[in-house]
Amino acid sequence: MTVEWHKVEVFSVEFDLSPLLFRLRRDGIDCRVTEEASGQWLWVGRSDIAVSLKHWLENQDGELEKMQSHAKAQGLAPEQMASAGENFLLRKCSEFLALVRHFPVTLGTIFLAVLGAALVEFDSQFHWIGLFTFQPVRVVGNQLGLAGFQSGWDQLQYWRVFTPVFLHFGIFHILFNGLWIWEFGRRIELRFGSGFLALTILAVGVASNSAQYLWQGPSLFGGLSGVLYALLGFLWIHNRLRPHRLTTLPPGIIGFMLFWMVLCMSGAVNVFLEGSVANAAHFGGLISGMALALLTAKLRSSKQ
């Protein structure tokens, strides 16, 4: 993830910022210091934290000096404090916890998809996979037996309309989908909130899975591809109607993803795969995401 840095305050080059950096990193705040002609500039990774921290620094009345004095009284030299602040394991744990706090739905979705990929990899007899497919699936002899969707529905297995999004077939499948879910999901989660993203993933997951089943009939399919195309469509259309820096995608990303979808539809990608691409899920996801963007933008406009 690329961090967008924001300036907080400038300090003299003689001033030791190690205690402050240690405290910020301990609290899971991305920070760094650069030296410029004007002195040492403190930067943080979020604009709201930069504003709050600047206000806090303006009202400390020597608190930073007290922090330094306290650290020295504990017998820690500045270079030792810096070393503690740079402790790799602690810093990475703090960064990860901060990401979990900010993007619980995005990261949770990717985590469940990784579990789904592991399930597909190790459950060759479909003892568990069959519980999460769109319709009941089981191994019969050397063949894969596929029931109709109605069979699962009659057994009150309603979760099947959604759970195929977590099943992934191969390392490339999960890496590709995980990368774009992270790119698109975190933008929506920051802009609209975790609850909105969770409901969006649920709705477009059902829509893309249903589109694939209606197009191809009983088959073994899965993956977050339909969801990521829905998130792409949502960001694309919503930003055209109500532009915002968080929902703005570089044109190159939109062009690449649309090109990739068309390439998959052409059948060229199937040459490199054991199965085939769920093209209907991609297209159904894209359309459902675009429709959701139109509805969301209209509702927000009517409220205002």
Mean pLDDT, the chain, rounded, equals 82
Clarify whether residues 26 and 145 are in a common domain.
no
Query: Is pLDDT above 70 for 60?
Result: no
- Any domain includes 1: no
Kindly state whether residues 111 and 211 are assigned to the same domain.
Answer: yes
Residues 75 and 110 in one domain: no
For residue 176, being part of any structural domain is answered with yes
Examine the domain organization and report whether 116 and 258 are in the same domain: yes
Q: pLDDT grade, residue 216 (50/70/90)?
A: confident
pLDDT in tens, 272-297: 666 678 889 999 999 999 999 999 88
Q: Is residue 78 part of a domain?
A: yes
Spatial separation of the C-alpha atoms in residues 188 and 205, rounded to whole Å = 16
In a domain, 199, yes or no: yes
CATH number of the domain to which 285 belongs = 1.20.1540.10
Q: What is the pLDDT of residue 207?
A: 95
Residue 139 lies in a domain: yes
CA distance 165 to 112: 9
Lowest mean pLDDT among 12-16, 119-123, 150-154, 203-207: 12-16
- Report the domain count for the chain: 2
> Taking Cα atoms as reference points, which of 163, 138, 140 lies closest to residue 151?
138
- Whether residues 166 and 199 share a domain: the answer is yes
Same domain, 48 and 107: no
CB-facing half-sphere around the CA of 90: CA atoms within 13 A: 12
**Co-location of 11 and 135 in the same domain:** no
Give residues with Cβ within 8 angstroms of 83, minimum separation 6: none
Q: Of 213, 253, 262, whose CA–CA distance to 231 is shortest?
A: 253
Q: Are residues 155 and 295 in the same domain?
A: yes
Model confidence pLDDT, tens digit, residues 231-244: 999 999 999 998 88
95 and 236, same domain (yes or no): no
Between CA 132 and CA 146 the distance in angstroms is: 13
Tell if the pTM clears 0.85, that is, is over it: no
Gap between the Cα atoms of 288 and 283, Å rounded:
9
Residue-level pLDDT at 135? 84
Residue 191 counted as domain residue: yes
Catalytic residue (one of 94, 225, 238, 288): 225
Candidates 282, 288, 301, 302; catalytic one: 282
247-273 per-position pLDDT tens digit? 889 999 999 999 999 988 887 777 666
pLDDT bracket for residue 24 (50, 70, 90)? confident
Percentage of residues in the chain having pLDDT higher than 90 = 35
Question: Do 76 and 137 share a domain, yes or no?
Answer: no
Tell me: the pLDDT tens digits for 78-110? 544 444 445 566 767 777 787 888 899 999 999
Residue 12 designated active-site = no
Q: What is the C-alpha to C-alpha distance for residues 147 and 203, in angstroms, rounded to an integer?
A: 24
Residues 6 or more apart from 231 whose CB is under 8 A from it?
180, 181, 184, 185, 188, 200, 204, 289
DSSP string covering the chain, please?
Answer: -----EEEEEE-TTS--HHHHHHHHHTT--EEEEEETTEEEEEES-HHHHHHHHHHHHT-SSHHHHHHHHHHHTT--HHHHHHHHT-HHHHHHHHHHHHHHH-HHHHHHHHHHHHHHHHHHH-TT-TTGGGTSSS-EEEETTEEEE--HHHHHHTT-GGGGTGGGG---SHHHHHHHHHHHHHHHHHHHHHH-HHHHHHHHHHHHHHHHHHHHHHH-S-----SHHHHHHHHHHHHHHHHHS--TTTPPPHHHHHHHHHHHHHHHHTSGGGGSSS---HHHHHHHHHHHHHHHHHHHHHHHHH-
Is residue 153 included in any domain, yes or no? Answer: yes
Domain end point (choices 99, 130, 163): 99
Same domain? 162 vs 286: yes
Domain that holds residue 16: 6-99
Determine contact, residues 236/293, Cβ cutoff 8 Å.
yes
- Of 71, 99, 127, which residue is a domain's last? 99
* Mean local confidence (pLDDT), 65-81: 50
User: Are the C-beta atoms of residues 102 and 190 closer than 8 Å to each other?
Assistant: yes
Q: Are residues 157 and 89 in the same domain?
A: no
Active site residue 225: yes
CA gap 235, 229 in Å, rounded = 10
232, part of any domain: yes
Q: Which of 99, 122, 139 is the last residue of a domain?
A: 99
Q: Chain centroid to CA 256: how far?
A: 19
Q: State how beta strands 31-36 and 6-11 pair.
A: unpaired
